[in-house]
Amino acid sequence: MTDQSDAILVKRCLEGDGNAFEGLLDRYQKTVFNVVYRMVKDVEEAEDITQATFVKVYENLRAFNPKFKFFSWIYKIAVNESLNYLNQRKRVTELDEDIASDTDDPESALHGVETSEKINECLMKLSPDYRVVIVLRHFQDLPYNEIAQILDVPEHTVKSRLFAARKMLRKHLIRKGFQT
């Protein structure tokens, strides 16, 4: 089953083959779960959102356009579900505008960023729009154009958000004590 393309599995699923959806689930559950987890940083919430994502994927399979990549579509649904959740909960730390517009501090530098927990904490300090580009670019290794497709924004917007997000992330990490 793993050798079959996503498009074939989708087609089989639409033809009533229940095992085909299980194949898609096996293929993408870990990726989707990780994207969602990086967005919400809570295993139980990530599990709920991942479940909601796959149910939505299943129920909207007819809307999937096979001209596009299936994983981009599933990412898009997962990202939207995560953003909706974060908006509803309103538990995100607001973007620190001072940090976004800060000039670089020449005395600061990152050294020994060894703990993933610190990065996770700082990631959660970014607003979701900025966090998501870091997650897709650096945790999922997606190129600008695919991120643009997933987020429905122009490629130049992805770049500017990504550059700003990195800058904010660096600042937050330096504030956490990663300084020379």
Partner 1 sequence: MIDPKYVELIHREIDGENSPAESQQLHAYVQKNPEAQRLFNDYKILLSSIDEMEEITPPRALKARVLNSINPNMYKQHRTSFARLERLFESWGTRRYAFAFSAGIAVGVLALVFFFDLHIPIEENNSLTGTIISSKVPNDFALGDAFNVNLPQVEANLQTKYSNNIVVAELALHSPDAVEVLFTVDGVDMCFSAFKQAEGGKGHLVVNENTSKLTSIGDQNYVLFFTDKTGSGKALDVKILQKGQILYEKTLLPKH
Give the footprint of partner 1 on residues 1-60 (CB under 8 A).
Answer: 13-16, 18-19, 21-22, 25-26, 29-30, 33-34, 37, 43, 46-47, 50-51, 54-55, 58-59
**175 interacts with partner 1 by CB under 8 A:** no
Q: Which region holds residue 111: left if phi is over 0, alpha if psi is between -120 and 50, else beta?
A: beta
Give the footprint of partner 1 on residues 143-172 (CB under 8 A).
Answer: 144, 159, 162-163, 166, 169-170
Closer residue to partner 1, CB minimum distance, 129 or 139: 139
- Closest Cα partner for 34 from 72, 90, 75, 80? 75
- Compose the 54-73 pattern: x for residues touching partner 1 by CB under 8 A, - for all others: xx--xx-x------------
The CA dihedral of 165, 36, 89, 162, to the nearest 10 degrees, is: 10
CB 127 within 8 A of CB 92: yes
The tally of CA atoms less than 13 A away on the side-chain side of residue 82 is 32
Give the footprint of partner 1 on residues 64-123 (CB under 8 A).
Answer: 104, 106, 108-114, 116, 119
The single-letter code of the amino acid at 67 is K
| Alpha-carbon span 153 to 62, nearest angstrom | 24
Closer residue to partner 1, CB minimum distance, 28 or 90: 28
How many residues lie near partner 1 (CB under 8 A)? 47
Between the CA of residue 37 and those of 44, 67, 78, 106, 133, what are the distances in Å? Answer: 9, 29, 10, 33, 14
Give the footprint of partner 1 on residues 126-145 (CB under 8 A).
Answer: 137-139, 144
Residues that bind partner 1 (CB under 8 A): 13-16, 18-19, 21-22, 25-26, 29-30, 33-34, 37, 43, 46-47, 50-51, 54-55, 58-59, 61, 104, 106, 108-114, 116, 119, 137-139, 144, 159, 162-163, 166, 169-170, 173
